């Protein structure tokens, strides 16, 4: 091995330490050892030297002792909320455990005076921590979890009542004397109401941030280099549990460390730094959860992070208090997740080394239940919500950000079609494909796509709309750069601004064709004439040009969507085969809008359960489906018209009753008795009867 030569000061510190350990009987001189290591000298905060031994090679050869260490957060929570505390530290705790004689010479190390080995357990050995934790767990087995908490050589005696504390200390001292463990009096504090334990301040009130860690941030000047920003984020990481929405507060720092760009501490970073200091000047006091108590996790999402706060609910006159703050930065992929998926990241956040399955095991010991809270009762939640960006609080998702619309038109000798891809601010995507039932040029198809997409966005309730198309002519005519040279183009050009004025903000941008692939594929789908094409997207038909029928109406006839997935075709229909009132929708709509329920308790219960499958948009009732789009609810003459059009209309094929009901459901219409009604309608269709009479039954054998 390589023998390291130390400087004068370090060599003197090593010789002094060896002399001290020799007098204490902790080390002994050894000859012909099989293993040999070098000493390592590190300067401590007080200016003195700490002498250790580098057991890197020995540790590589040793098997790992997997004895578990206590969970630090649980230990800290268990010690908070007590009347009296006593903190103790063992005197050179590792050195109080004897090494097995056969293993002693494996710990040999060399200095300029000779070679020595340890007779006691040395610092730096791979399994020293696990060995010591096993020892103290056996020593204090009867007290752990009730009157004592121990993490390696840090011991704490806690008492809920003042009069019990002396008795608890006496029991602890009896165990120490029984096993001959000695304490370091300079590091012990007895009978106090608060103190530092495992990096936190535990008190009767709860868990407080360590003032030293807070001062390390407050006293830090504005960073001038990347290394100092890294130091800042490291100090903040130690306080994350106490910082509400820490990721959002520190986002400018994290962005500064991304990539290899030139360091620039701008006004945004300085503002975030000062706001963080202001927040840490009055840090929150975290509460301690009680065993069996119901806890509530409130979660929220911003553009770049997800955050949560775990709280204790109201208990009499006490207000809810925070237990833990958690925050996570979203990577580039996660920023494009739908809101619901982002919220799930707060609850289960896998890391590179521990995936969801491991977290599922961690969470399985808790009884977790989701509740949709209707109001916030505490200042804790008010503080949590008030730090959200203003446009993220209390705003309808339709208006807080722009909806995104991609459109494309396609024209060929087989026909013309348009494709629409509409994305909500929260990531939900609606795709539509229309076949033009009239001759149209490619430019006219592009305009029809844009107009149909704008109408669809307006019907859904979008207030801000960002549209993209790959037609240079349409985009430049709308911007005024190009002039419409014929009457038809001029007519289309007048329709678009008129529709755009119906939303708060509308913008049209030209993008490359490669960036508009989704809408392009939908347009090609609707313009093809291949009858065997497997179509998952329902293809609809626009009967007349938009410039001929005006802006407020658009004749749409639903065509058969073609062959779909087998699972979708086998989807069971709703078995609500009951007689309905004149308009069955009114009862459900009234409950959703005003909460009106029947006086009969069981009828009210049935209505509440049934209404969970419905929603109201712009006064229209829609039924949710398992895998397809929302289905508009119809009644009376409307359902009769839908059956006639689907069964024997332009796109009808005189299908049987259940097949007819399936097709109507796929095309986006619903009423509870649709299966029975479709079977009755199909059985009375005269052309179907005539067709069956044309083909006599197969003769019997």
What was the pLDDT predicted at 550? 42
pLDDT digits (tens, 9 = 90+) for 504-532: 888 999 998 888 888 888 777 766 544 44
Is the pLDDT assigned to residue 555 strictly greater than 50?
no
Judged by DSSP in three states, 380 sits in: helix
How far is CA 263 from each of CA 97, 223, 271, 277, rounded to the nearest angstrom? 51, 10, 17, 22
What was the pLDDT predicted at 551? 39
d(CA 3, CA 190): 46
pLDDT digits (tens, 9 = 90+) for 221-241: 888 888 888 888 888 888 877
The answer for residues whose C-beta is within 8 angstroms of residue 334's C-beta and 6 or more apart is 342, 345
Q: Which residue has the tokens 């649709």?
A: 674
How far is CA 256 from each of CA 91, 223, 265, 336, rounded to the nearest angstrom? 45, 11, 8, 22
Who has greater pLDDT, 199 or 566? 199
pLDDT digits (tens, 9 = 90+) for 287-302: 877 777 777 777 777 7
| Alpha-carbon dihedral angle through residues 161, 164, 166, 168, given to the nearest 10 degrees | -110
What was the pLDDT predicted at 560? 36
Is the pLDDT assigned to residue 558 strictly greater than 70?
no
What was the pLDDT predicted at 3? 55
- Name residue 315's beta-bridge partners: 318
What is the pLDDT confidence band of residue 469, given thresholds at 50, 70 and 90?
Answer: very high
Q: What share of the chain is helix, strand, coil (3-state, %, to 5)?
A: 40, 20, 40
What was the pLDDT predicted at 627? 54
Residue 490: other Cβ atoms inside 10 A: 13
What was the pLDDT predicted at 542? 67
The share of the chain scoring above pLDDT 90, in percent, equals 6
CA 2 to chain CA centroid, Å, is 50
d(CA 614, CA 623): 5
What was the pLDDT predicted at 379? 44
What was the pLDDT predicted at 579? 37
pLDDT digits (tens, 9 = 90+) for 330-362: 777 777 777 777 777 766 654 433 433 444 444
Q: Which of 320, 618, 604, 558 minimizes the C-alpha distance to 432? A: 558
Half-sphere exposure of 297 (CA within 13 A, CB side): 19
Given a contact cutoff of 8 angstroms between Cβ atoms, the answer to whether 120 and 99 are in contact is yes
Across 15-50, b (16+ Cβ under 10 Å) vs e yields eebbeebeeeebbeebeebebbbbbbbeeeeeeeee
Query: For the residues 19-40, what does the mean pLDDT come to?
Result: 88
Kindly list the strands in the beta sheet with 505-510, ordered across the sheet, starting from the edge strand earlier in the chain: 505-510, 464-469, 403-412, 415-423, 429-436, 539-542, 556-558
Is the pLDDT assigned to residue 269 strictly greater than 80?
yes
Mean pLDDT of the chain: 77
DSSP string of 233-287?
HHHHHTTGGGSTTHHHHHHHHHHHHSTTPPP---HHHHHHHHHHHHHHTSPPPBP
What is the pLDDT confidence band of residue 535, given thresholds at 50, 70 and 90?
Answer: very low
Beta strands in 424-566 (DSSP E): 429-436, 464-469, 505-510, 539-542, 556-558
d(CA 409, CA 419): 6
What was the pLDDT predicted at 516? 86
What is the pLDDT confidence band of residue 170, given thresholds at 50, 70 and 90?
Answer: very high
Task: Select 402-528's CATH number: 2.60.40.1840, 1.20.950.20, 3.30.420.10, 3.90.79.10.
Answer: 3.30.420.10
For residue 403, with 0-12 CB atoms within 10 Å meaning exposed, 13-18 middle and 19 or more buried, which class applies? buried
What was the pLDDT predicted at 518? 81
What was the pLDDT predicted at 349? 56
* 154-159 and 84-89 beta bridge pairing: antiparallel
Domain 295-389 top-level CATH class: alpha beta
What was the pLDDT predicted at 538? 53
Task: Select 209-281's CATH number: 1.10.540, 3.30.70, 3.40.1000, 3.30.1890.
Answer: 3.30.70
Who has greater pLDDT, 72 or 368? 72
Query: For the residues 481-488, what does the mean pLDDT come to?
Result: 83
Q: What is the CATH number of domain 584-694?
A: 1.10.340.70
Who has greater pLDDT, 264 or 556? 264
Judged by DSSP in three states, 129 sits in: helix
DSSP string of 616-653?
EETTEEEE--SSS--EEE--THHHHHHHHHHHHSTT--
Given a contact cutoff of 8 angstroms between Cβ atoms, the answer to whether 384 and 300 are in contact is yes
Who has greater pLDDT, 396 or 185? 185
Quote the Cα angle for 154-160-162, to 5°: 100
How far is CA 123 from each of CA 50, 51, 114, rounded to the nearest angstrom? 11, 10, 20
Is the pLDDT assigned to residue 153 strictly greater than 70?
yes
Is the pLDDT assigned to residue 214 strictly greater than 70?
yes
d(CA 425, CA 398): 7
- Name residue 318's beta-bridge partners: 315
pLDDT digits (tens, 9 = 90+) for 419-429: 888 888 877 77
Given a contact cutoff of 8 angstroms between Cβ atoms, the answer to whether 458 and 467 are in contact is no
Query: For the residues 395-405, what does the mean pLDDT come to?
Result: 60
What was the pLDDT predicted at 701? 45
Is the pLDDT assigned to residue 62 strictly greater than 80?
yes
User: What CATH architecture is 8-206?
Assistant: 2-Layer Sandwich (3.30)
d(CA 436, CA 557): 11
Q: What residue spans in the chain does CATH classification 1.10.340.70 cover? A: 584-694
d(CA 666, CA 47): 78
Which two structure tokens, joined as six digits, stand for 638?
């409307």
Is the pLDDT assigned to residue 215 strictly greater than 80?
yes
What was the pLDDT predicted at 589? 87
Given a contact cutoff of 8 angstroms between Cβ atoms, the answer to whether 385 and 376 are in contact is yes
- Lowest mean pLDDT across 7-11, 278-282, 556-560, 643-647: 556-560
Which two structure tokens, joined as six digits, stand for 28?
């002994």
CA 336 to chain CA centroid, Å, is 12
* 84-89 and 49-53 beta bridge pairing: unpaired
What was the pLDDT predicted at 561? 36
Q: What residue spans in the chain does CATH classification 3.10.20 cover? A: 295-389
pLDDT digits (tens, 9 = 90+) for 306-336: 777 887 765 554 566 788 777 777 777 777 7
Q: How many residues does the chain have?
A: 701
Is the pLDDT assigned to residue 573 strictly greater than 70?
no
d(CA 32, CA 117): 11
How far is CA 274 from each of CA 53, 74, 267, 285, rounded to the nearest angstrom? 43, 32, 10, 21
For residue 514, with 0-12 CB atoms within 10 Å meaning exposed, 13-18 middle and 19 or more buried, which class applies? exposed
d(CA 44, CA 50): 6
Given a contact cutoff of 8 angstroms between Cβ atoms, the answer to whether 78 and 112 are in contact is no
């Amino acid at each position: 091995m390589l023998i390291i030569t130390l400087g004068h000061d370090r060599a003197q510190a090593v010789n002094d330490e060896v002399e001290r350990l020799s007098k204490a009987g902790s080390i002994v001189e050894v000859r012909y050892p099989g293993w040999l290591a070098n000493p390592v000298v590190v300067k401590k905060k007080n200016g003195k030297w700490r002498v250790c031994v580098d057991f890197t090679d020995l540790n590589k050869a040793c098997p790992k002792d997997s004895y578990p260490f206590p969970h630090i957060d649980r230990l800290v929570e268990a010690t908070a909320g007590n009347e009296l505390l006593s903190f103790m530290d063992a005197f050179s705790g590792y050195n109080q455990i004897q090494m097995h004689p056969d293993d002693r010479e494996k710990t040999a190390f060399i200095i300029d005076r000779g070679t020595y080995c340890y007779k006691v357990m040395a610092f730096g050995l791979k399994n020293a921590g696990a060995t010591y934790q096993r020892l103290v767990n056996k020593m204090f087995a009867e007290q752990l979890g009730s009157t004592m908490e121990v993490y390696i050589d840090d011991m704490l005696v806690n008492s809920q009542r003042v009069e019990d504390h002396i008795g608890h200390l006496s029991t602890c001292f009896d165990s120490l004397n029984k096993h001959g463990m000695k304490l370091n009096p300079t590091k012990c504090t007895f009978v106090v109401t608060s103190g530092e334990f495992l990096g936190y301040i535990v008190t009767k009130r709860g868990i407080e941030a360590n003032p030293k860690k807070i001062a390390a941030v407050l006293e830090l000047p504005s960073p001038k280099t990347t290394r100092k920003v890294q130091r800042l984020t490291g100090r903040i990481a130690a306080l994350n549990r106490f910082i509400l929405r820490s990721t959002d507060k520190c986002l400018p720092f994290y962005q500064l460390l991304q990539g290899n760009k030139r360091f620039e501490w701008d006004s945004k970073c300085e503002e975030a730094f000062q706001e963080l200091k202001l927040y840490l000047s009055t840090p929150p006091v975290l509460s301690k959860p009680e065993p069996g108590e119901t806890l509530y996790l409130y979660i929220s999402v911003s553009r770049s992070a997800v955050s949560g706060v775990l709280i204790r609910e109201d208990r009499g006159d006490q207000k809810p208090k925070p237990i833990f703050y958690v925050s996570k930065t979203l990577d580039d992929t996660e920023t494009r997740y739908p809101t619901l998926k982002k919220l799930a990241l707060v609850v289960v956040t896998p890391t590179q080394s521990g995936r969801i399955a491991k977290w599922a095991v961690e969470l399985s010991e808790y009884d977790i239940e989701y509740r949709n809270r209707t109001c916030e009762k505490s200042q804790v939640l008010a503080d949590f919500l008030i730090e959200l960006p203003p446009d993220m609080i209390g705003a309808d998702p339709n208006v807080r950000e722009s909806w995104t619309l991609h459109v494309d038109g396609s024209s060929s000798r087989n026909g013309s079609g348009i494709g629409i891809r509409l994305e909500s601010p929260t990531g939900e995507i609606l795709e539509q494909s229309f076949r033009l039932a009239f001759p149209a040029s490619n430019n006219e198809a592009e305009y029809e796509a844009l107009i149909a997409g704008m109408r669809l966005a307006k019907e859904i309730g979008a207030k801000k709309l960002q549209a993209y198309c790959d037609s240079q002519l349409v985009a430049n005519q709308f911007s005024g750069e190009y002039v419409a040279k014929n009457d038809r183009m001029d007519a289309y050009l007048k329709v678009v601004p008129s529709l755009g004025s119906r939303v708060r903000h509308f913008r049209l941008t030209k993008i490359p064709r490669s960036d508009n692939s989704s809408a392009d594929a939908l347009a090609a789908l609707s313009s093809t004439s291949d009858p065997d094409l497997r179509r998952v997207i329902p293809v609809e038909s626009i009967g007349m040009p938009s410039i001929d029928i005006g802006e407020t109406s658009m004749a749409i006839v639903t065509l058969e969507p073609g062959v779909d997935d087998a699972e979708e075709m086998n989807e069971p229909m709703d078995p609500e085969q009951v007689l309905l009132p004149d308009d069955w929708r009114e009862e459900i709509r009234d409950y959703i809008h005003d909460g009106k329920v029947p006086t009969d308790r069981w009828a009210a219960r049935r209505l509440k359960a049934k209404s969970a499958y419905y929603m109201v948009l712009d006064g229209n009732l829609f039924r949710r489906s398992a895998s397809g789009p929302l289905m508009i609810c119809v009644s009376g003459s409307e359902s009769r018209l839908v059956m006639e059009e689907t069964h024997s209309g332009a796109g009808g094929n005189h299908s049987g009753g259940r097949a007819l009901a399936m097709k109507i459901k796929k095309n986006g219409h619903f009423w509870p008795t649709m299966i029975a009604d479709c079977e009755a309608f199909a059985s009375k269709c005269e052309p179907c009867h005539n067709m069956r009479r044309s083909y006599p039954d197969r003769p019997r054998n």
